[in-house]
């Protein structure tokens, strides 16, 4: 019973720097890292000490409060440093990688003979579990919960996003194996949602054992949250899990070979990249080598992930755990004179969803946007603008206000269980009052996690 969804709301932000469909194999990075901050609300408990030798797939740390969830090293090497921040909180675990990586261990796992519980335990023990994310709350899934469905999105619609059809082309066996694995995790349905705007690669189109849906529309059509809302929405007390398409392939690879091989193809994108392209690298890889000679201007921001939801990293920082792309855009820390590039300028260089700028007259023009907020923070004044980019049957501004005021009843009633910060990224982008909406939603979810879960 596949579903077809058509979205009317949304926004495609047209940026310069889409990756060309060229794939290069990156060198083995000098270091890789795992950042506990990628797993919201998790407190790591280190299992290894600095200086210890590790192999790919060895467990580096586990969740202090949910010890079955373990986090594995993506490479062979040495635990180089445990970087701590304020109050000795672990910010990053850095592993220096051996120059050659060989995966000598492991034997294929016969999936057919395993029960759901055994699959779950295998994934937990091998460090594959953190790939599974849960709604509500947008955290690593709690293995004790029973999900009513698992969602995989076959495309990413965010700005400059990698094309999964290209990335996973020819990896149908790994992807299918991954789908078979995750089907064992739920008694409900596994949903694979394709892009209705373009024909999907055979990897996705011919997937078996899952319900294939199509969704068409502007961003956030590719966000799993939008798909869940329109296909099988989360109600209070229910859980839905989701996994990135590339991570499904990693899970499949593990069961096919018995090896934890966290290889991933990422897109190097953005207006400040000389030659935007695809690169095969490893989760958590240091980006210094990848970006070497690629950045064209001085004052840039390097983002692990996309411009709407990614994390700011240094030029020698590390790729995030869930990220499939690196974006480099100019910093916007310059004064902009009012009549030329400022608030009353003609605005041909600004991308806006409002008709106060000529964006809508410029057709397919692509923009080079910087990190300037283009204005100061204000109270909510303009109404109705968030609704235009929020394809949920949820009132975005009211929900954000409930989150800001810590109104638990309000948040529950208005649908906080269905949303995660990522769903509000476009709202945050278009907000005239420059409110950090994703952060407000995250704070609201933290309150809910503490009081209601």
Partner 1 sequence: MKFLENIVNKMEPKFSKGGKLEKWHPMFESFMTLVFTPKYTTKLGSHIRDGVDLKRTMIMVIFAMVPALLFGIYNTGHWEMVAAEGNLNLPYGEMFWDKVIAGAAVVVPLIIVSYGVGLGIEFIFAMRRGHSLHEGFLVSGMLIPLIMPADVPLWMVGVATAFAVIIGKEIFGGTGMNILNVALTARAFLFFAYPTSMSGDKVWMSGLTENLDKVNAEKLAHTAEVAAGKAEKLGENEFASPLADSLDGFSGATPLGDLASFMTPDPVLNGSPLEVGSNLMDQFIAANPINDMFMGFSPGSIGETSTLAILIGAAILLITGVGSLRIMASFFAGGLLMGVILNASGGPYLDLPPLYHIVIGGFAFGAVFMATDPVTAAQTATGKIIYGLLGGMMAILIRVLNPAFPEGVMLAILFMNVMAPIIDHYVIAANIKKRLKRVKNA
Kindly report the number of other CB atoms within 10 A of residue 382's CB atom. 13
Give least dist CB 152 to partner 1, A.
Answer: 22
Quick one: which of 95, 97, 93 has its CA closest to 46?
Answer: 93
Nearer to partner 1 (CB atom), residue 184 or residue 301: 301
Give least dist CB 148 to partner 1, A.
Answer: 9
Give least dist CB 377 to partner 1, A.
Answer: 9
The contacts of residue 68 (CB under 8 Å, 6+ apart) are 62, 124, 129, 143
- Residue 347, Ramachandran bin (φ over 0: left; ψ between -120 and 50: alpha; else beta): left
Nearer to partner 1 (CB atom), residue 57 or residue 222: 222
Give least dist CB 328 to partner 1, A.
Answer: 11
Nearer to partner 1 (CB atom), residue 65 or residue 337: 337
Nearer to partner 1 (CB atom), residue 209 or residue 342: 342
C-alpha radius of gyration, the chain, whole number:
22
Give least dist CB 324 to partner 1, A.
Answer: 16
The tokens describing 41, both together, are 């609300």
Give least dist CB 448 to partner 1, A.
Answer: 15
Distance CA 272, CA 302 (A): 10
**To which H or E segment does residue 427 belong?**
helix 425-430
Q: Is the dihedral of CA 172, 169, 207, 124 positive or negative?
A: positive
Nearer to partner 1 (CB atom), residue 203 or residue 269: 269
Give least dist CB 285 to partner 1, A.
Answer: 21
Give least dist CB 40 to partner 1, A.
Answer: 14
Give least dist CB 8 to partner 1, A.
Answer: 13
Nearer to partner 1 (CB atom), residue 112 or residue 361: 361
The tokens describing 334, both together, are 């310059």
Distance CA 428, CA 346 (A): 23
Nearer to partner 1 (CB atom), residue 321 or residue 417: 417
The contacts of residue 402 (CB under 8 Å, 6+ apart) are 410, 411, 414, 416, 444
**Sheet order of strands, 59-63 included:** 44-46, 59-63, 70-72
DSSP code of 413?
H
Nearer to partner 1 (CB atom), residue 274 or residue 434: 434
392 φ, ψ to 5°?
-120, 155
Nearer to partner 1 (CB atom), residue 98 or residue 311: 311
Nearer to partner 1 (CB atom), residue 41 or residue 347: 347
The contacts of residue 171 (CB under 8 Å, 6+ apart) are 203, 249
**To which H or E segment does residue 77 belong?**
strand 77-84
Distance CA 10, CA 221 (A): 8
Give least dist CB 137 to partner 1, A.
Answer: 17
- Length of the chain equals 453
């Amino acid at each position: 019973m596949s579903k077809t969804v058509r979205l009317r709301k949304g926004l495609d932000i047209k940026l310069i720097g889409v990756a060309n469909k060229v794939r290069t194999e990156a060198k083995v990075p000098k270091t890789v890292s795992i950042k506990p901050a990628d797993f919201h609300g998790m407190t790591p408990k280190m299992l290894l000490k600095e200086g210890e030798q590790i192999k790919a797939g060895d467990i580096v740390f586990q969740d202090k409060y949910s010890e079955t969830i373990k986090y594995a090293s993506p490479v062979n090497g040495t635990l180089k440093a445990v970087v701590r921040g304020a109050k000795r909180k672990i910010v990053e675990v850095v592993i220096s990688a051996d120059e050659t990586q060989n995966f000598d261990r492991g034997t294929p796992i016969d999936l057919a003979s395993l029960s759901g519980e055994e699959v779950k335990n295998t994934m937990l023990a091998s460090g594959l579990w953190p790939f599974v994310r849960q709604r509500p709350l947008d955290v690593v899934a709690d293995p004790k919960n029973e999900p009513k469905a698992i969602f995989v999105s076959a495309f990413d619609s965010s700005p400059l996003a990698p094309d999964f059809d290209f990335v996973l082309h020819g990896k149908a066996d790994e992807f299918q194996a991954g789908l078979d694995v995750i089907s064992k995790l739920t008694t409900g349905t596994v949903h694979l949602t394709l892009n209705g705007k373009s024909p999907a690669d055979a990897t996705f189109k011919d997937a078996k054992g899952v319900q294939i849906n199509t969704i068409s529309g502007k961003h956030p059509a590719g966000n799993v949250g939008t798909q869940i809302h329109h296909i099988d929405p989360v109600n209070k007390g229910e859980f839905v899990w989701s996994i990135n398409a590339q991570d499904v392939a990693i899970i499949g690879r593990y069961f096919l070979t018995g090896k934890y091989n966290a290889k991933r193809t990422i897109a190097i994108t953005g207006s400040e990249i000389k030659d935007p392209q695809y690169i095969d690298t490893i989760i958590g890889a240091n980006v210094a080598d990848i970006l070497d000679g690629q950045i064209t201007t001085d004052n840039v921001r390097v983002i692990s992930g996309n411009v709407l939801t990614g994390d700011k990293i240094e030029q020698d920082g590390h790729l995030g755990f869930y990220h499939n792309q690196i974006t480099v855009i100019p910093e916007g820390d310059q004064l902009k004179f009012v009549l030329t590039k400022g608030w009353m300028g003609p605005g041909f260089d600004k991308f806006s969803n409002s008709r106060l700028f000529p964006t809508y007259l410029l057709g397919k023009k692509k923009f080079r946007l910087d990190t300037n907020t283009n204005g100061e923070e204000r109270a909510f004044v303009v109404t109705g603008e968030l609704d235009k980019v929020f394809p949920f049957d949820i009132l975005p501004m009211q929900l954000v206000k409930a989150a800001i005021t810590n109104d638990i009843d309000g948040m529950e009633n208005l649908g906080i269980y269905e949303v995660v910060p990522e769903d509000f990224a476009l709202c945050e982008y278009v907000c005239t009052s420059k409110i950090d909406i994703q952060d407000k939603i995250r704070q609201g979810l933290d309150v809910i996690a503490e009081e209601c879960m």
